[in-house]
Amino acid sequence: MKNNRIIIFDTTLRDGEQCPGASMNLREKLEVARQLARLKVDVIEAGFPVISDGDFASVQSIAKEIKGPIIAGLARCVPKDIDAAGEAIKPAGKRGRIHVFLATSKIHREFKLGKARDEIIRLAVEGVKRAKSYVDNVEFSPEDGSRTEPDFLVQVCKAAIAAGANTINVPDTVGWAIPQEYEALIARLYEEVPEFQSDKAVISVHCHNDLGLAVANSLAAVRAGARQIECTVNGIGERAGNAALEEIVMALKTRSDFYGGLQCGVNTREIVKSSRLVSRMSGLIVQRSKAIVGENAFAHASGIHQDGILKKRETYEIMDPQEVGWGKTDLPLTKHSGRAAVTARLKHLGFKMTETDVQAIFARFKEIGDKKKFVYDDDLTALVEGHITEMPETWSLDYLSVTSGTQTVPTATVRLKKSANKKASGEILQDAGIGDGPVDAALKAIDRLTRTRGRLMDYSLRAVSQGKDALGEVTLKVDFGNGGLVTGKGASTDVIEASARAYLNAVNRFLCDNPNPPDNEPQP
């Protein structure tokens, strides 16, 4: 095979964001896109423009701002989808790509689409040609490709390439494939479609993790001729997720002896930073034992292992932790640090902040600096990401006091400030609530004040940095009865305050999307 370059196609902002409870607002998506550019992925699939005005706006904004990677928009083989994608990625110019897809497997043809083989080929060709009228770079995916009859899959690939497709992506849409058979399928396509051998078209793979084989299937495919891998940071995505970008990249790099020198252009030292950012923006926590980016990935508890590491690192570590971005933080800031020092550190960490952003973050930095001795990079990052995740605030926290103990009823007093509008200036309301604990009491008081009724479905708390005075970061998911989960995030050295801020963040998100919600009766 002529080409040893593996194209890394990141779909964190499209397939990853489709994971329930992982939706991101425009600012969050832009921050992730900036980090993906620093990570140096080849393609960013920015979203599915036709799905909503918000998705269209985020794809268009990413296409305008992000330089370097190809920016792709997803579309079904339907004219309105393709037109929306073409318009959304237009600002990317020659770096724009339209990714069209159409189901091809027998089960999808019969039960989902109700169409025969010849009709599928006709629709695929029309979709590719329409996309080609907008951009030179067109990708076609035969959805559920791993369960499509191989002979028909070959026909579809040939037809799509003849219509103008530059990349053919073979999705394992439901995570059904086994590495050996998936490798055999890709090998057959490589052998029977001449354009793949001449590098006029690229075989891509998109694997889901329903059987825990997404990474294994992706790596098996590249040995058979695939030269693009579609993946997500932390492996997030629908159901059990997608192939994890960090595992793919480091497997190719660490075992280049086995993979025949296959290479990709990812800047591996940005992997851990990317993982943490996506985790915070999506609200999906990375498990401690997760390969490459989990907190235990390079931890050694066994005395035998520790002894070996001290003598020679390679005895029990196949990768250098610093190679993927693990390492010591820079000297921490303190409450005496000025705005210039904070601004410089934000720039060093890779955040692009306006003067208004810096002003808001610096105010929160001073609050935190008064409560703890050192403000570490992770603390500052949490403050920035908390600022990014903020929605237009209908309600803001003005005061919080809790009483709790083994011999008293947990009680919380909360004072909220309502944002001013054309009809009224900002009013301040106060109420109290009791609950099973101080967090429950505070959330019930917020419900009473905001006249919402949220049901807490998931709650997680983690220490952002070291020390007893570490910043606590709360991520929670709330069901407001509108058919979906709303994610909220908050940080403080006080975990009750962090919980209240996270819940209020979720309330503001809900009210932003539902400006006229039913006036729920407050909880007793």
Average pLDDT over residues 268-283: 91
Q: Are residues 351 and 312 in the same domain?
A: no
Strand-by-strand arrangement of the 472-479 sheet = 455-463, 472-479, 485-492
pLDDT in the model for residue 313: 61
User: Is 290 contained in some domain?
Assistant: no
pLDDT at 26 over 70: yes
User: Residue 162's pLDDT band (boundaries 50, 70, 90)?
Assistant: very high
pLDDT of residue 497: 94
Kindly provide the b/e burial profile for residues 437-449, where b requires at least 16 CB atoms within 10 angstroms of the residue's own CB: ebbbbbbbbbbbb
37-46 pLDDT, tens digit each: 999 999 999 9
Write down which residue in 215, 247, 282 finishes a domain. Answer: 282
pLDDT of 472 reads 87
Instruction: Indicate the range of 65-79, 228-242, 304-318, 464-478 predicted with least confidence.
Output: 304-318
At which residue do the structure tokens 């990768």 appear?
Answer: 319
Local confidence band at 303 (pLDDT 50, 70, 90 cut-offs): low
Mean of pLDDT over the chain: 89
> Is residue 362 domain-resident?
yes
Please state, in angstroms and rounded to a whole number, the distance separating the CA atoms of residues 393 and 22.
Answer: 20
> Does one domain contain both 240 and 370?
no
CATH of the domain at 475: 3.30.160.270
In this prediction, residues 459-481 reach a mean pLDDT of 84
- Report whether pLDDT(523) > 50: no
**Same structural domain, 322 and 265:** no
Q: Which residue did the predictor score with more confidence, 137 or 462?
A: 137
In this structure, the answer to whether residues 250 and 384 fall within a common structural domain is no
**Based on the domain organization, do 263 and 305 belong to the same domain?**
no
pLDDT band (50, 70, 90) for residue 284: confident
Instruction: Let me know if residue 265 belongs to a domain.
Output: yes
pLDDT digits (tens, 9 = 90+) for 42-87: 999 999 999 999 999 999 999 999 999 999 999 999 999 999 999 9
Assigned domain for 289 exists: no
Q: Of 265, 502, 291, 308, which is closest to residue 389 (Cα–Cα)?
A: 502
Distance CA 331, CA 313 (A): 26
Q: Please name the helix (run of DSSP H) or strand (run of DSSP E) that holds residue 138, with its range, or none.
A: strand 137-143
- 244 and 310 share one domain: no
Measure the CA–CA gap between 263 and 488, rounded to whole angstroms. Answer: 39
* Over residues 487-505, mean pLDDT: 91
- Report the range of poorest mean pLDDT among 200-209, 325-334, 476-485: 325-334
Q: What pLDDT was estimated at residue 354?
A: 86
Answer yes or no: is pLDDT of 302 > 50.
Answer: no
Is residue 52 one of the residues assigned to a domain? yes
Contact between 9 and 229 under an 8 Å Cβ cutoff? The reply is yes
pLDDT in tens, 383-426: 887 787 666 778 989 999 999 998 899 999 999 998 876 555 57
Q: Are residues 62 and 174 in the same domain?
A: yes
pLDDT the model gives residue 307: 55
Measuring CA to CA, which residue among 291, 314, 293, 463 is closest to residue 376? 463
Q: Is residue 129 domain-resident?
A: yes
User: 434 in a domain, yes or no?
Assistant: yes
Q: Where are the beta strands (DSSP E) in 325-394?
A: none
Q: Are residues 414 and 482 in the same domain?
A: yes
- State residue 367's pLDDT score: 85
* 2 domain residue, yes or no: no
To the nearest 10°, report the CA torsion of 275, 278, 282, 285: 10
Model-level pTM? 0.84
Check whether 311 has a pLDDT greater than 80.
no
Same domain membership, residue 272 and residue 136: yes
Q: How many domains does the chain have?
A: 4
- Give the pLDDT score at 331: 65
In a shared domain, residues 374 and 412: no
Same domain, 141 and 254: yes
- Structure confidence at residue 521 (pLDDT): 47
Task: Mark whether 79 and 225 lie in a shared domain.
Answer: yes
- Residue 282: per-residue pLDDT: 87
Segments forming the whole domain that contains residue 408: 395-513
pLDDT tens digits along 184-199: 999 999 999 999 999 8
Instruction: Please check whether residue 250 is in contact with residue 259, taking contact to mean a CB–CB distance below 8 angstroms.
Output: no
- Summarize pLDDT for 198-221 with one digit per residue, the tens: 989 999 999 999 999 999 999 999
Q: With pLDDT > 90 as the criterion, what percentage of the chain qualifies?
A: 63
